[in-house]
Structure 1
Amino acid sequence: MLRARSSYFKSALSPEWITKKDDMIMFNKPNITPTVFDMILRYIYTGELNLGKYSGENVLRLLITSDELILEELFEHVQDYLIKKRTTWIQENFVLVLHTVSRLTSCKKLHDYCLESICEDPRPFFTSKNFPLLDKEILYGLLKRDDMLIDEVVVWECLIKWGIEQTPGLGNIDNAIRIQWNKSNYEALKKTLNQFIPLIRFVEISPSEYFDKVRPYKAIIPNHIYEEVEEFYFKGTLPKTTTLPPRVGKFRIDSIIIKPKLISIITNWINKRNAKASLNKDDLNYKFNLIYRGDRDGINNNSFKNKCELEEFILVLVKCQDSRKIFGGYTPVGFCEDYNDTEMPYTPYNYRNLRNRFSGISSYMPNLSSYGSSYDNHFIYSQDSFIFSFEGNDDDQNMKICRVTSYDNAIYNNYPNIYGFCFGDEDLCMQDNNLYVSDSGYYENNFNCNDAYVIEEIEAFKVEKQ
């Protein structure tokens, strides 16, 4: 049974590898505890294992053991179980979990989950009693990040505590008697923290906190960094060699289409900045509130309109079927305006039939001429609308943005429900479960295509700045 369920045991228990004593096979794995091996045997022989009855430590050991024994199905199940069912335990034991999984590429899902969770709320982790025991490679990776919303002075204080713990001869020295340290003590601490000091955003520390918390450790800071920081506090001159973006935290968005890091790009676009521009803390005041999701509300024109009608500041995301490609658009004016003829004069829409444009792709497309001249089919003016694409849910290298160029024709008014939504003259439009992408000249032509896709998933968010 063991050989049949595990390729590891198939080799380990083969005639070429087994060791026998008194006609019994001797299997020695001192790195696997009896409890964990019992869990392995239960799984192999019964196909079932109640992880809820075991401690978090034993479940984590089981994860590593199942990876070593090449029990792939069990490994994936245990990794998902830890993430979904043992969230609190993981948060209380980040250091243990990260030390255990950081060097195993197969545990990337759990490793990334830990780092993302820390970045969402870093202070409890940085101030925990186990933080000074954190592996230096993990600490370095965290300090490089700018998506942690935490006061820089807290990072500095925790780094000092970590350095004292990690430096031989300093771990038992109370910080309160630091004035008794000699030059060799400071040199030892400087050596420990040498690679980390350039990762501190000193300019984000207030002058009073700098005076009280940083200046006393002048001896461990490289001279060129200290001089640049001093010049910043006295003259307001930004450092030339140590300027890093401020730690601004990360966006939270209830999306199953894209990862949060792409929202930072979209936020930059909303603010008319370069996609990779550094965010500031004010950007985190943007909130993306889910108002429509296809698998929940239905992928059709009626469902989209019912959820988004007369809303403004809307972000739309579309995942295409049989493709990693993601399209989207942002409009501050929404997609529908309920005007009557006395409020808004009728403006004929120069409709170009989608049947001709997408010949051979779709058997039916609406013909707006059938709605007659009484149909309120004007465009909605906008200077700030744009459409965009990503090559995957976490791809931040191959994105494209097309900003509106004809402000008068930014959004096609969808009051009578011809579309789910329509940017320009079908530059990006939803027609039930189809998405059409083309070039009308109303938006920049960065897509350079006339394509049709089947919508796999679609979401709409109301964007608010608090």
Structure 2
Amino acid sequence: MTSFFNPKFSKDFPLILNNDNYDTIIQVGENEDIKEFRAHSVILRARSPYFEGALSSSWVKKENDMIIFNKPNITPNVFEMILRYIYTGELNLEEQLSEDIFRLLIASDELLFEELISFLQEYILEQRQNWVDKEFFLVFYTVRKLANCELLQNYCFKTISNFDRDIYHDLLKREELLIKEIVAWNYLIIWGIEQTSGLGSLNCDRNKRNNEDYEALKETLHEFIPLIRFTNITFDDFNNKVRPYKNIIPNQIYEEIEEFYNKGTTPKIILPPRMGKFDSKIIKPKLAKIIIEWINIEDFWISRYNFIPIYRGSIDGISNKSFINKCKGQVGSLVLIKVNYSNKIFGGYSSIGFNSIENSLLRIYEDNHRFYHSSNNFIFSLENDEDTQNMKISRVINYDKAIYDHPHNGFNFGYNAFFMTENHCIINNYSCNYENNIRTDTIYSIEEIETFIITEL
């Protein structure tokens, strides 16, 4: 026979939260709003798949057998709620500001607390419906599980007509929204009909609308339609849900859509796919879009990508060891480097990763040098964090020597084409394994370095 003593357990277990026998210090927040929390790694790992991975030896640093972990993107108030939830299963939202509950929603998604996400969904719908505004929509479509929540989507359909013009325009401009583009189009049509005199509930039958109705709707939406990423709408959805509104779409845009579907022509006016969240201290999102286009020329106009940050020198330390610990493995990765005493930025993309790559890709040459094969690696240089005119790209030309794996380098493209050695980077390409158009003889000291895993959404 099994007995359960949950009340006693629930009363005693929270005492561990304030126990001195901790082995983990978590630093959260940034700028002036920073706080340290003490915790127990075994409990964090047991309660969260995120912490199970994050607290592995390759992700964190240790000082005197104490795990030190940084989460600057979560505020102290939000993390305090999360920590109490982890240890006690309790969550009190009654006195919390809406912005902190939104932040809690985002943090719960990142830390993989599905139970907490489900609870917050219901809480918002039942208790705080008046929050459904611009801020809610931004959170709603940047939290991947919420973007697929049919219950919340249906509620949003009912409230979207209340948005004013500037708010809705700002939402559609955002790159980080996870919304499906056909859903963005559907929302836009619903909103536009409600905002157009003579349409809406009084003229809800599309078949009864005349040319004057469509001209009025076109006038209402003329600023918004160019913000739709039409190439991310499937051909079937285009035929069924976009084509019926052909008369409200500017001629140049509509012609480009049809050319794209029928001939695969690269659009010139239509905006490229939304990129997803991009958190870099080194370059602006518009440069990241160009890099994505370099990575995947053929599928750029139909695919969406996600940048997952795994290493930042200002947080994790700038050294070969810290880079290798954070960035090892066979996975498509982007490295960015801002150098000291200059606006220059250097970077490289490797479809196979940088080091500790699986042996199936290994090529062994003389003196036991280890090289890895890739046909689509490249390195590049930028003059500053937003200049698109002077970007230079150098693609791999000797595929069997795309990556050189050496213990004294954090990473090494093509046997010294572009490599990191402790807190310096060098771009000389003496081995000529990459195109020879960004070679320099300067040894640059690294001001900041970031690495991202790039995945398709």
- TM-score normalised by the chain length of structure 2: 0.54
The within-5 A match list for 1:41-190 is 87=102, 92-94=132-134, 120=142, 127=157, 129-135=159-165, 139=168, 149-170=178-199, 173-176=201-204, 184-190=212-218
Query: Which residue of 2 is the match for residue 421 of structure 1?
Result: 411
**CA positional deviation for 1:241:** 12
Query: Which residue of 1 is the match for residue 319 of structure 2?
Result: 300
Q: Which of 444, 448, 455 does residue 457 from structure 1 map onto?
A: 448
**CA positional deviation for 1:451:** 1.3
2:279 counterpart of 1:248? no
CA contact (8 A) 1:251 1:260 kept: no
Mark the runs of 5 or more structure 1 residues left unpaired by the alignment.
Answer: 1-81, 98-113, 349-375
* Matched residue SS, 1:192: helix
Q: Which of 429, 432, 448 does residue 439 from structure 1 map onto?
A: 429
- Alignment length (residue pairs): 324
CA contact (8 A) 2:394 2:435 kept: yes
**CA positional deviation for 1:208:** 7.0
* Matched residue SS, 1:445: coil
**CA positional deviation for 1:403:** 1.4
The within-5 A match list for 1:25-424 is 87=102, 92-94=132-134, 120=142, 127=157, 129-135=159-165, 139=168, 149-170=178-199, 173-176=201-204, 184-194=212-222, 196=224, 204=233, 207=236, 210-211=239-240, 215=244, 220-221=247-248, 237=262, 245=270, 248-253=273-278, 255-271=280-296, 273=297, 279-284=300-305, 288-309=307-328, 311=330, 313-336=332-355, 347-348=366-367, 376-414=368-406, 417-424=407-414
* Matched residue SS, 1:392: coil
* Matched residue SS, 2:384: coil
Aligned partners of 2:334, 2:392: CA distance in 1, in Å?
16
Compared CA separation, residues 214 and 391, structure 1 to 2 (3 A): same
**For each residue in 1:114-133, what CA deviation from the matched residue of structure 2 results, as whole angstroms up to 9, or x when unmatched?**
99868747976974625454
Higher strand share: 2
* Matched residue SS, 1:387: strand
Aligned partners of 2:436, 2:206: CA distance in 1, in Å?
63
CA contact (8 A) 1:148 1:247 kept: no
Aligned partners of 1:311, 1:242: CA distance in 2, in Å?
33
Aligned partners of 2:170, 2:290: CA distance in 1, in Å?
22
**CA positional deviation for 1:420:** 2.2
* Matched residue SS, 2:450: strand
AA of the residue aligned to 1:322: Y
CA contact (8 A) 1:146 1:245 kept: no
AA of the residue aligned to 1:325: K
Q: Which has the higher contact order (CA 8 A, sep 6+)?
A: 1
Query: Which residue of 1 is the match for residue 62 of structure 2?
Result: none
Q: Which entry has the higher C-alpha Rg, 1 or 2?
A: 1
Compared CA separation, residues 458 and 226, structure 1 to 2 (3 A): closer
Aligned partners of 1:398, 1:291: CA distance in 2, in Å?
28
**CA positional deviation for 1:383:** 3.2
**CA positional deviation for 1:429:** 1.8
Aligned partners of 1:411, 1:176: CA distance in 2, in Å?
60
AA of the residue aligned to 1:279: F
Aligned partners of 2:454, 2:172: CA distance in 1, in Å?
30
- TM-score normalised by the chain length of structure 1: 0.53
CA contact (8 A) 1:152 1:205 kept: no
Compared CA separation, residues 381 and 226, structure 1 to 2 (3 A): closer
- The percent of aligned pairs where both chains have the same amino acid is 38
Compared CA separation, residues 347 and 333, structure 1 to 2 (3 A): farther
Aligned partners of 1:241, 1:314: CA distance in 2, in Å?
26
Mark the runs of 5 or more structure 2 residues left unpaired by the alignment.
Answer: 1-96, 104-127, 148-152
Compared CA separation, residues 115 and 451, structure 1 to 2 (3 A): farther
Compared CA separation, residues 134 and 247, structure 1 to 2 (3 A): farther
CA contact (8 A) 2:175 2:276 kept: no
Compared CA separation, residues 247 and 117, structure 1 to 2 (3 A): farther
Aligned partners of 2:328, 2:266: CA distance in 1, in Å?
50
**For each residue in 1:349-397, what CA deviation from the matched residue of structure 2 results, as whole angstroms up to 9, or x when unmatched?**
xxxxxxxxxxxxxxxxxxxxxxxxxxx3354444333211233344444
Q: CA RMSD in A?
A: 5.0
AA of the residue aligned to 1:458: I
CA contact (8 A) 1:201 1:243 kept: no
Aligned partners of 1:413, 1:434: CA distance in 2, in Å?
17
* Matched residue SS, 2:303: helix
**CA positional deviation for 1:148:** 5.1
* Matched residue SS, 1:405: coil
Query: Which residue of 1 is the match for residue 82 of structure 2?
Result: none
* Matched residue SS, 1:248: coil
